[in-house]
Amino acid sequence: MEEYIVIMRLDLLTKEAQPSPEQMEGYMKQYHDWVGGIAAQNKFSGGKGLAVEGKVLKFNDMITDGPFVEIKESVAGFIIIKAASLDEAVEMAQKCPILKGEGNSVEVRKIVSVHES
């Protein structure tokens, strides 16, 4: 089994795109059910949500507030899953409830080691 990161992107900044507390509760249940299904197969390695606030560091010591306000799609969080192939990881990611929202996306990438511990 290899590890894959599932990066979830959605509009975290536009006020009109934000769900009501009731909608958020429903979305979180769907999300936890999805992750629970992956964990039940012993293919969940971990994950985290990300705060909206942050900084972006660029070349030449430039630091700006982030995520970028000019784009609506922000990284909301990620999970790390185990799969035998990229295709299997994509199959699991296709069930992510974030994909039910217009403009949302999920990116799947194999994790490769570039650092020795």
Mean pLDDT, to the nearest integer, of 19-29? Answer: 83
Percent of the chain with pLDDT over 70: 90
In terms of C-beta distances under 8 Å and separation of at least 24 residues, what long-range contacts does 31-40 make, across chains too?
A: 31/96, 31/97, 31/98, 34/95, 34/96, 34/97, 35/79, 37/95, 38/79, 38/81, 38/92
pLDDT at residue 22 tops 70: yes
Residue of 101, 87, 80, 82 whose CA lies nearest to 9: 101
Percent of the chain with pLDDT over 90: 49
pTM of this prediction?
Answer: 0.84
Mean pLDDT, to the nearest integer, of 16-34? Answer: 85
